[in-house]
Amino acid sequence: MAAGSRRAGCSQYKSQIPKLRVVSRCGCGCPTVDFAIGLGCKKGYSQIVADMEGTSPEGVRVGVIVHIRQDEISEMEIYSITGESKGFSLPKPTSLVPIGGW
């Protein structure tokens, strides 16, 4: 994540990253994924810990939101800012900039 791209306190989740495994993907064709650590993914209310925008390799402007649930990283939501539903992949991390000036 680029400097200034995260909300206060999100660094506490960094140690979870190597433990994450993808347990589901969005059915619409976007690259959104749900994560789990251990046996099951967390359910319920989510909190946003990072909100970025960037450009996919296909040239689509995308937003990237990282959610936590029950103190675990649970989802990385990737969506087209322009409304395209298919035909784009993950942006390069170096293309990401914070949304809202974080």
How far apart CA 97 and CA 1 sit, in angstroms, is 9
Burial class (CB in 10 A: 0-12, 13-18, 19+), 18: exposed
How far apart CA 69 and CA 79 sit, in angstroms, is 20
pLDDT, tens only, 63-99? 999 999 999 999 999 999 988 766 888 998 898 998 8
pLDDT, tens only, 2-54? 433 445 567 888 899 999 999 999 888 889 999 999 877 788 888 999 899 99
Tell me if 62 sits within 8 A of 54, measured CB to CB: yes
Residue among 84, 83, 81, 85 at smallest CA distance from 97? 81
- The DSSP secondary structure of 16-29, one letter per residue, reads GGGG-EEEEE-TTS
Q: What is the pTM of this model?
A: 0.81
How far apart CA 49 and CA 26 sit, in angstroms, is 20
